[in-house]
């Protein structure tokens, strides 16, 4: 069974209450349930985590690299400026799918660029929380190829 970490960065624990016009009404708990359920359906061993501490996210990325685990990552605001997160992502030896709930290209100009995207296998943005499901399907397809 392929190990996959679904890692969420800063402020994502506030889903369902934070800017619902941008991020929707799905709670973080519901997102976790959806990711775990999708993982089971696809035969993936999914672990979902969220942190507001950058060093903790970097540590989880190091663990994924050491385990050769795939990662579905929504770095939140760290996407746009954290070279520490980007460099930890560059160490991964399995697929990395970057996910954004909103379309970062249709928002404020400072959100248009992600430093993580250049080291990601792929990027999904603007499809709401369904982006996570699609990312897990992609990881499963790569694992069976």
Catalytic residue numbers read 23, 100
* 21 among annotated binding-site residues: no
DSSP 8-state secondary structure symbol assigned to residue 69: -
* 105 among annotated binding-site residues: no
* 80 among annotated binding-site residues: yes
Distance CA 96, CA 60 (A): 13
* 111 among annotated binding-site residues: yes
* 107 among annotated binding-site residues: no
SS3 per-residue string spanning 40-53: HHHCEEEEEEECCC
Give the 3-state secondary structure percentages of the chain, helix then strand then coil, rounded to 5: 50, 20, 30
Q: What angle do CA 87, 79, 134 make, to 5 degrees?
A: 100
Cα dihedral across residues 133, 137, 139, 143: positive or negative: positive
Residues annotated in a binding site:
74, 80, 87, 101-102, 111
Residues annotated in a binding site for substrate:
74, 80, 87, 101-102, 111
């Amino acid at each position: 069974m392929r190990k996959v970490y679904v890692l969420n960065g800063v402020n994502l624990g506030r889903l369902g209450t934070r800017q619902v016009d941008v991020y929707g009404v799905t709670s973080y708990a519901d997102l976790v349930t959806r990711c775990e359920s999708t993982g089971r359906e696809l035969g993936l061993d999914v672990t979902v985590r969220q942190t507001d501490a950058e060093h903790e996210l970097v540590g989880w990325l190091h663990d994924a690299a050491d385990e050769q685990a795939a990662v579905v990552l929504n770095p939140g605001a760290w996407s746009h400026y954290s070279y520490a997160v980007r460099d930890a992502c560059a160490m991964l030896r399995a697929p990395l799918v970057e996910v954004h709930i909103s379309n970062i290209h249709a928002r404020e100009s400072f959100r248009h660029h992600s430093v993580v995207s250049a080291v990601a296998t792929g990027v999904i943005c603007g499809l709401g929380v369904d982006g996570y499901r699609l990312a897990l399907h992609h990881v499963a397809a790569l694992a069976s190829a």
